[in-house]
Amino acid sequence: MAIILRLDRVMADRKMSLNELSDLVGVSNVNLSKLKTGKVSAVRFSTLNAICKALHCQPGDILEFIDDE
């Protein structure tokens, strides 16, 4: 079971930079970069909520489940 983060794709679709998103969400560039590259093991709902609000998207646009089988 794998959860894949698609933040990079959604940001590209919205033509939003990491710096812009960081300013809107109130999360550091470093932490957003880790989210963007999928190098995190957890995401706070408050952070996910702020990202979705800033990008005008749904959590399912950012998170994708891929079955290992």
Residue 18: give its domain's CATH number: 1.10.260.40
Q: What are phi and psi of 58, to 5 degrees?
A: -105, 155
Provide the residue range defining the domain that includes 31. 2-66
48-58 b/e with 16+ CB inside 10 Å = b? bebbbebbebe
pTM recorded for the entire structure: 0.89
pLDDT tens string 10-57: 999 999 999 999 999 999 999 999 998 888 889 999 999 999 999 999
Q: Give the chain's domain count.
A: 1
Burial class (CB in 10 A: 0-12, 13-18, 19+), 29: middle
Q: What is the predicted pLDDT for the residue at 1?
A: 57
